[in-house]
Amino acid sequence: MCDDEIHQGLSQDFSVSRRGFGLAAMAVAGYATTAEAQAAAAVVEKDVSVKTPDGVADSVLFTPPGKGPFPAVLIWTDIGGLRPVFRDMGRRLSAAGYVVLVPNPFYRSQKAPVVEGALNFGDPEVRKKLFAVRAAMTDDGIDKDSAAYLGFLDAQAKVNRKAKIGVQGYCMGGPLTLRTGAASPRIGAGATFHGGTLVGKDASNPLLSIPKLHGQYIVCEAQNDDKSDPTAKDQVTAAFAAAKAPLKLEVYPAMHGWCVPGSPVYDATQAERAWGELLGLYKRALV
């Protein structure tokens, strides 16, 4: 559903920082209200190391204040990887009442951030590096990572192990969301935002994961992704229908990358729509 040209929306400003950004910067960080930003300030953020069969994934864990227990959520980043803006997104979600894990998906190659400073996907050297670290994530490796991340979440004292776990992904994280959902019955809900290549032609085709899903899903597609492959949404919808898996798919009037604050194509209005859909999904399904 996306290509190199569409990926230009991934150029981002790394100045969005988890530490010390004030309420005046809440719009940049993606917060809709001052009250929401204040709630996020009470969330506990902790850098953690998650052991996987292939090594140790540097990650960040967010825990809401209070006794809990709380449902858990795993976030797959876009191809830019774990960086300040995804810490902000994890913190915001945790403030809504979830224990959130955001791993560095490229831990096999290096610790986060993979790209220092501003992320400019228009730079050929940046693209080369990001595609290389993505290539190091094999399908088998992703499955092993998913199991490790879910196990880590379930081991947290404040996680409600009787509730289902949520998983969400952006850009390259879209297919990983479906793959994770197919790998574990612990997943009760999944969401993809401007997901990259949800329809493939080989054994890695994300559509092959759909019959194995256990929960409810939303797919929020960008208008330029839809334009580049108008049949993709129909194939995804048909696959979910054949599997009798609950799905809400919508093409948003926004560009690839619109959900991630700091992107030049970030669309606050449409990002808030998508965020509202996400919270509604989790409220319904993570029980």
Q: What is the pLDDT of residues 58-105, one digit of tens each?
A: 999 999 999 999 999 999 999 999 999 999 999 999 999 999 999 999
Q: State residue 37's pLDDT score.
A: 79
What residue type is 247 in one-letter code?
A: L
When pLDDT is averaged across residues 190-200 and rounded to a whole number, the result is 94
Contact 75, 93 (CB under 8 A): yes
Q: State residue 98's pLDDT score.
A: 98
Q: Tell whether the model's pLDDT for residue 23 goes beyond 50.
A: no
| 135-167 per-position pLDDT tens digit | 999 999 999 999 999 999 999 999 999 999 999
Contact 40, 91 (CB under 8 A): yes
Closest among 174, 172, 177 to 135, alpha carbons compared? 172
pTM score: 0.91
Paired sense of beta strands 165-170 and 99-103, if any: unpaired
Paired sense of beta strands 187-193 and 165-170, if any: parallel
Q: Give 57's pLDDT tier (boundaries 50, 70, 90).
A: very high
- Domains in the chain (CATH in brackets) are 6-285 (3.40.50.1820)
To the nearest whole percent, how much of the chain has pLDDT over 70?
89
To the nearest whole percent, how much of the chain has pLDDT over 90?
77
Q: Tell whether the model's pLDDT for residue 201 goes beyond 90.
A: no
Q: Tell whether the model's pLDDT for residue 123 goes beyond 90.
A: no
Q: Return mean pLDDT, the chain.
A: 90
Q: Tell whether the model's pLDDT for residue 218 goes beyond 60.
A: yes
